[in-house]
Amino acid sequence: MVKGVQRSQCSGRNLHFRSVTDSQFKDDPRLQWPELAFDAPLMKVQRSAGKWQLRCMVRRKWVALEPEEWVRQHIVAALVQSGWPLGRMVLEHPVRFGQVSGRVDIACFDRSGEVCLAVEVKAPHVPLDEKVAEQVARYDLALMSSKLMITNGLKTAVWGRGADGVLVQSKTWPVAQAD
């Protein structure tokens, strides 16, 4: 996908934007958010009952258009472009570690049903600090995935598990392994 393509189509109440800058709606919340470091996928956005919604590619339903969800959908699109099957992604995947439970934002599964990539997504204004890294590391205690990622859409950090089982920070985007 080409970043910054200026194209919009109106189809009823569903608005299809390649770029937020061509939105003619002054109250479009995306106009307040920074441009993300990922290509802008074609996303369906609508305003229903006074609230902005986004069509989720994975859940196949309308969800509230919030900054974190905007980033999550960009990451899902980028993962699909990198070869990760959409059918093997789960959003808000429950994770339990000891007495504490949580939800990893994006879980990508291999053919055997094991989580091979766990992604923690934050809104663009949330810094990727040690607290966020510790959050995804706690999830990994239960998941033992081969790859971990944290992102706020502006910055991204990825870790891969080596042959010795230790996570090492990676400088490359996580690519789906052929199975």
Quick one: which of 53, 43, 140, 159 has its CA closest to 93?
A: 140
- The per-residue pLDDT for 2 is 33
The pLDDT tens digits of the residues spanning 21-65 come to: 445 566 889 888 999 998 877 889 999 888 999 999 999 999 999
Q: Which of 150-154, 164-168, 172-176 has the highest mean pLDDT?
A: 150-154
Q: What is the architecture of the domain spanning 81-170? A: Alpha-Beta Complex (3.90)
pLDDT value at residue 12: 34
pLDDT for residue 165 is more than 80: yes
Tokens of 98: 């000891």
Domain-by-domain residue ranges, the chain?
8-66, 81-170
Whether the full predicted model's pTM is greater than 0.85, yes or no, is no
Compute the C-alpha angle 77/43/115, nearest 5°.
Answer: 30
If one compares 26 and 154, the residue with the highest pLDDT of the two is: 154
